[in-house]
Structure 1
Amino acid sequence: MTDNDSKNIKYSITKYLSMREHSCHELLKKLLAKGYERALCEHRISQFSQADIQSDLRYAEMIVRSRVSKGKGEQLIRNELSQHAIEPELIELAITEQNVDWDALALEVSQKKFGNKPAKDWHEQQKRNRFLLYRGFSHEQIRALKSVR
């Protein structure tokens, strides 16, 4: 561990965070890939977190906004945030702060992909259901669409 490594880590974290929000997990992964020592990286990241320069909550909020705008469902968003080691409480907070009507979003995504026409047969309905499941919508949200279509 050299003083130069510490400065390089600080520079790298600053550079990453100047481009967009990053989770602690993501920053650590990037720094370790550069060959820096884990303990030093964790220490530097915690300094940025304590100074509120890096925030897992802001990262989670950014991901939620981004994925909702792309028509992704709640389950997909939760899974993605979990993979970035975001705490469940922060995931819940980020999702509830956005006040997303998931049923309306599922309807919008379905209409954008398939139009307003009802499915012509069972196979077509299953294709639509699989598409919405793949996008991260729950079975309940998909069932709710059947009453609207």
Structure 2
Amino acid sequence: MTDNDSKNIKYSITKYLSMREHSCHELLKKLTAKGYEKSLCEQRIAQFSKADIQSDLRYAEMIVRSRVAKGKGEQLIRNELSQHAIAPELIELAITEQDIDWDALASDVAHKKFGSKPAKDWQEQQKRNRFLLYRGFSHEQIRALKSVR
């Protein structure tokens, strides 16, 4: 490895982080795809993390805010963050810091998609349930919606 590679990695990380937050996993994936040595990339990413320039917590918070704004449920958000190798305690912290009422969000998403009319039959109710499950809402949140209707 040359000193030039180290500078290029530093430049690339800086460029990526200037656009938006990235997880360590995401940065490593992008840098190794460019052909840089994995161990050198890990060292550089660790330096950025230590200096608090890169933060998995800030990345997780950004994802939570973004997905909630799009009407996604807690399970979908947790799965997405897990796929980015975010530590479970950081996922929990990012979600609890936002203080989200998941039942209200599920209700808003259902109302936006299906309106205020109740399902006309069992099949339509199942279609609505599948939609909400696909969006990442739990069975309990979906059942709570049924009692409101």
Partner of 1:109: 109
Partner of 1:89: 89
**Identical columns (%):** 89
Partner of 1:53: 53
Task: Spell out the pairing of 1:122-133 with structure 2 (5 A cutoff).
Answer: 122-133=122-133
Amino acid at match of 1:81: L
Residue-by-residue CA offset, 1:67-105 (whole Å, 9 max, x unaligned): 000000000000000000000000000000000000000
Question: Post-superposition shift, 1:146?
Answer: 0.3
RMSD of aligned residue pairs (Cα, Å): 0.2
Which ranges in structure 1 are unaligned for 5 or more consecutive residues? none
Alignment partners' CA distance in 2, 1:82 and 1:38? 21
Task: Spell out the pairing of 1:65-76 with structure 2 (5 A cutoff).
Answer: 65-76=65-76
Alignment partners' CA distance in 2, 1:80 and 1:12? 24
Q: Secondary structure at the match of 2:64?
A: helix
Question: Post-superposition shift, 1:15?
Answer: 0.1
Amino acid at match of 1:67: R
Alignment partners' CA distance in 1, 2:148 and 2:12? 50
Alignment partners' CA distance in 2, 1:52 and 1:130? 40
Q: Secondary structure at the match of 2:93?
A: helix
Alignment partners' CA distance in 1, 2:127 and 2:39? 48
Alignment partners' CA distance in 2, 1:38 and 1:109? 42
The ranges of structure 1 where at least 4 consecutive aligned residues each deviate by more than 6 angstroms after the TM superposition are: none
